[in-house]
Structure 1
Amino acid sequence: MTDKARAELAPTGVLRAGINLSNFLLVTGRSEKSEPVGVAPDMAKELAASLGVPVTYVTFKSPGELADQAGKNVWDVGLIGAEPQRAAVMNFSAAYVEIEATYMVPPGSPLKSIADVDKTGVRLVVSARSAYGLWLENNIKNATLIQVTGLDGAFNKFMEDKADALAGLRPGLLKDLEKHPELKILDGKFTAVQQAIGCNKPATEGARYIAAFVENAKKSGLVASLIEKHKVKGLSVAPLA
């Protein structure tokens, strides 16, 4: 490891890790000190340990809010989905975990497959600025995308407006299904949200270091062990880059 990587990633002598609290798969709770607990905080802690510095957590209610603080000396690394819009302001590693994103539809819906959703006249609700929402912005050609703030807001809009489909991460939709068993989740996925570690541009040495750290974490079994430790369903180790 070069001193330059440490200087770029932890200029204050502490690794300030930006954590997205809305991803309940990667942040599964809070410690007694009210620090975030889960796969993402543990990955940040391991990264800090490899650099030989302590970690501190900077928490955000959404990934969009975390990305908004890129380059503003608020955090040193951010653990969020690596989307093209965010890559404009952050250098990302390859993904360390991935989560299937799919659709939920009302009872008796004519939409039977993923491909059925992107049709003219289909009203598709999504949580604004989520990683899969950004993917839909880039890829939906015919359906009408209705963006709503927050996961609960999106679900409520879907139900209240009797929309045709709700986009979401499969584990989150499964939780909704427990409360509303009349709804249906479509088979397959429209994308897999890949969660990565990003740093502020132009930290080139830092970005190289993070990329190598993530590959090693996948190869060594660290990521798999963290998923097991936190008993997370619906999260899988991303393929090696």
Structure 2
Amino acid sequence: MQPTDAIRAAFTPTGVLRAAINLGNPILAGRDAAGAPAGVSVDLAGELAARLGARLELVVFDAAGQSVAAVTQEQADVGFFAIDPLRGAGLAFTRPYILIEGAYLVREASPVWDNAQVDAAGTTVMVGKGSAYDLYLTRELKRATIVRAATSPTVVAEFVAQGADVAAGVRQQLEADAARHPGLRLLPGRFMVIEQAMGTPRGRSPDATAFLASFVEDMKRSGFVAEAMKRHRIEGALVAPVAPV
């Protein structure tokens, strides 16, 4: 799908393509050795800007909730999000481009050995405020109590500091944090699969949302997403299937 002048205008109301980048999910983005934002989402934003013939402006956040708010409130034109029905009120999502596992982490001495044991009365589960895990577990956990860290990267530090029973988040982030904090272990398996998609404000034109959806499918089909994951040494996540024609 080729961009028309109307589609370009819909994506660049301020004259540039403003892409919200969430540094709270290490699968999607982080900072390079020079401190600049880098990662799969940054690469996708750059390619989208190139196809639109637009200058790219990165709007960087430390937490998913901040990124969602920026795009919903039209302070950014596109973003990279876990698909969630609550977020869908203000965002138009593409199909997913990456699938990520959500996992639980506990202390070595914890009596919890299985995901099914987490939802128990008296159990506290630490999540990143406004993250996909927060939204999902708020709906799914009926007996456990959710406590919230300011951002996803601070979940394990807050879990340790506050004495919570379980930490929930991206498996790779939890594995990295567990390596820095002795006496922790991940529970086997996953409690959810997060579908990471691109999104734009729901008020943008249908042609613009269709163009973005087509762009994401092309990025999967062409191998762009897989190559970006390899380039940024992302392991444990999968390229989402291409949508059936």
Task: Please give the TM-score of this superposition, normalised by the length of structure 1.
Answer: 0.92
Identity of aligned residues (%): 37
Q: Tell me, yes or no, if the aligned pair for 2:92 and 2:209 is still in contact at 8 Å.
A: yes
* Residue of structure 1 in register with 2:241 after alignment: 239
Deviation at 1:162, TM superposition (A): 2.8
* Residue of structure 2 in register with 1:194 after alignment: 195
Provide the C-alpha distance between the structure 2 equivalents of 1:31 and 1:53, rounded to a whole number of angstroms. 26
2:212 partner letter:
I
Provide the C-alpha distance between the structure 1 equivalents of 2:226 and 2:153, rounded to a whole number of angstroms. 29
Does the alignment pair 1:144 with 2:145? yes
* Residue of structure 2 in register with 1:223 after alignment: 225
2:24 partner letter:
S
Query: The residue matched to 2:71 in structure 1 has which SS?
Result: coil
Write the mapping of 1:14-93 to structure 2, written as runs, cut at 5 A.
14-30=16-32, 35-93=36-94
* Residue of structure 1 in register with 2:102 after alignment: 101
Structure 1 window deviating more from structure 2 (151-160 vs 115-124): it is: 151-160
Provide the C-alpha distance between the structure 1 equivalents of 2:186 and 2:215, rounded to a whole number of angstroms. 35
Query: The residue matched to 1:110 in structure 2 has which SS?
Result: coil
Q: Count residues with an aligned counterpart.
A: 240
- CA RMSD, Structure 1 to Structure 2 (Å): 1.8
* Cα distance, 1:31–1:72 mapped onto 2, change above 3 Å: farther
Deviation at 1:152, TM superposition (A): 5.1
Deviation at 1:19, TM superposition (A): 0.7
1:85 partner letter:
L
2:159 partner letter:
F
Deviation at 1:190, TM superposition (A): 0.8
Q: Tell me, yes or no, if the aligned pair for 1:121 and 1:143 is still in contact at 8 Å.
A: yes
Deviation at 1:13, TM superposition (A): 3.5
Deviation at 1:71, TM superposition (A): 4.6
Q: Tell me, yes or no, if the aligned pair for 2:29 and 2:41 is still in contact at 8 Å.
A: yes
Deviation at 1:175, TM superposition (A): 0.7
Q: Tell me, yes or no, if the aligned pair for 1:126 and 1:145 is still in contact at 8 Å.
A: yes
Provide the C-alpha distance between the structure 1 equivalents of 2:65 and 2:114, rounded to a whole number of angstroms. 29
Provide the C-alpha distance between the structure 2 equivalents of 1:160 and 1:14, rounded to a whole number of angstroms. 42
Residue by residue, what CA displacement relative to the aligned partner does 1:63-119 show, whole Å, maximum 9, x if unpaired? Answer: 111222235442111112222221111111111112111100111322111111112
Query: The residue matched to 1:70 in structure 2 has which SS?
Result: helix
* Residue of structure 1 in register with 2:125 after alignment: 124
Residue by residue, what CA displacement relative to the aligned partner does 1:153-207 show, whole Å, maximum 9, x if unpaired? Answer: 4323322333221111110111122123421101111112222111012222111
1:127 partner letter:
G
Provide the C-alpha distance between the structure 2 equivalents of 1:175 and 1:64, rounded to a whole number of angstroms. 22
Provide the C-alpha distance between the structure 1 equivalents of 2:161 and 2:39, rounded to a whole number of angstroms. 33
Question: Which segments of structure 1 move beyond 4 Å, counting only runs of 4 or more?
Answer: none
Q: Tell me, yes or no, if the aligned pair for 1:28 and 1:230 is still in contact at 8 Å.
A: no
1:134 partner letter:
L
* Residue of structure 2 in register with 1:207 after alignment: 209
* Cα distance, 1:152–1:61 mapped onto 2, change above 3 Å: closer
Query: The residue matched to 1:84 in structure 2 has which SS?
Result: coil
Q: Tell me, yes or no, if the aligned pair for 2:20 and 2:70 is still in contact at 8 Å.
A: no
* Residue of structure 2 in register with 1:7 after alignment: 9
Q: Tell me, yes or no, if the aligned pair for 1:77 and 1:198 is still in contact at 8 Å.
A: yes
Query: The residue matched to 1:232 in structure 2 has which SS?
Result: coil
1:40 partner letter:
S
